[in-house]
Amino acid sequence: MKGKQVKLSEINQISRPADMIIKLVFTAVVGATCIYPLLMVIGSSLTDNMEILRHGYNIVPRVVSFEAYKYVLFKSGKLLRSYGVTILTTAVGTFLGVLMMSMYAYPISRKDLKYRKFFSLFAYVTFVFSGGLVPFYFVYSRLLDLTNNLWVMIMPYLVDVWYIVILRTFFAGAVPPDIIQAAKIDGAGELRIFFSIVTRMAIPGIATVALFTTLKYWNDFQLPLYFIEDSKKFNIQYMLYRIMANMEFLAQDTHSVRLSGILPVESARMAMCVLGTGPMLIAYPFFQKYFIKGLTMGAVKG
């Protein structure tokens, strides 16, 4: 028996490094497939447009040029103002949206709520059935009269039933009923319990929904297309879309290779990808830190 145990332990010691190497190789391959397109976009955005037309896209620029960024940032329009609009709508929309969805999800996660089934069904019906684009447009443009108003880029995304379901499930599993009962015995009201106890114990779930909501606001270009006519109120994604459409129209209308070299169409397309996705790539590690912190807090308090 001892001999068998020794042999099994030796096999386990040999297999552990092999498993670790396999995991590292697999992680490196997956990471490379994710990083390669990003490096290709960055390298192409710094490449001279004529070199892209001759040789295609490359990670390492053959001829380094900042003309694409100069055109997009300074020559094409009010891009910095669009960044400000996007940051404002994303910050306000994410804060209000997470607050509203959390305050709706928490009560329906409580089994002692009297009309819990009614409010759950009310949310699910809106998730399954939709009025369509025409009623959606008339509600915000005619009924609420929010055309050319920044609130029209915030209000439609404040509540997402799918995120409410995620938060409700997380509240039900992460917040023990005994803690709520103990807080009530100590004299805490429902709002005090929600903001002081529930939100702190549900940080991972709230952070996840906040990240998804932030991405939805940041990447949106449909709402400005429907409701915004004032160019000063365009967000970054719609402004980049307009810039790209104008550049392609000018390049195709002239049928001139010379003008295609002046207008950095191909490199500008890559520069727009960097400008559009760069802030979210920078912000994601901060959300990841809150994920880890929230999981650690939950493990300690659990």
Q: Report which of 51, 167, 26, 53 is spatially closest to residue 99, judged by C-alpha positions.
A: 167
Q: State the pLDDT confidence band at 302, using cuts at 50, 70 and 90.
A: very low
Structure token digits, residue 299? 């493990």
Q: Mean pLDDT across the stretch 282-288?
A: 71
Distance CA 113, CA 173 (A): 16
131 domain-assigned: yes
Q: Does residue 108 register a pLDDT over 50?
A: yes
Q: Does residue 261 register a pLDDT over 70?
A: no
Q: Rounded to the nearest 5°, which phi and psi values hold at 130?
A: -130, 145
Number of independent structural domains in the chain: 1
16 domain-assigned: no
252 domain-assigned: no
45 domain-assigned: no
Distance CA 49, CA 145 (A): 44
Give the pLDDT score at 123: 85
Q: Provide the whole-model pTM.
A: 0.77
Structure token digits, residue 251? 């390049």
15 domain-assigned: no
pLDDT: is 81 or 262 the higher one? 81
First vs last C-alpha separation in the chain: 41
Write the DSSP string, 209-246. Answer: HHHHHHHHHHT--HHHHHH---GGG--HHHHHHHHHHH
* Cα-to-chain-centroid distance, residue 235: 15
In CATH, what number is assigned to the domain containing residue 217?
A: 1.10.3720.10
Report the mean per-residue pLDDT for the chain.
Answer: 79
Distances (CA, A) of 121 to 118, 124, 148, 165: 5, 5, 34, 12
Q: State the pLDDT confidence band at 2, using cuts at 50, 70 and 90.
A: very low
Is the dihedral angle over the CA atoms 20, 23, 28, 31 positive or is it negative? Answer: negative
- Tens of pLDDT, residues 146-200: 888 999 999 999 998 888 988 888 888 888 888 888 888 888 888 888 888 888 8
132 domain-assigned: yes
- Tens of pLDDT, residues 48-75: 878 777 877 778 887 888 888 887 777 6
52 domain-assigned: no
- Domain interval for residue 123: 76-231
The answer to whether 152 and 228 have CB atoms below 8 angstroms apart is yes
Beta bridge partners of 64: 47
42 domain-assigned: no
> Mean pLDDT lowest for which of 80-84, 104-108, 125-129, 265-269?
265-269
Contacts of 108 (CB under 8 A, 6+ apart): 116, 119, 120, 123, 164, 168
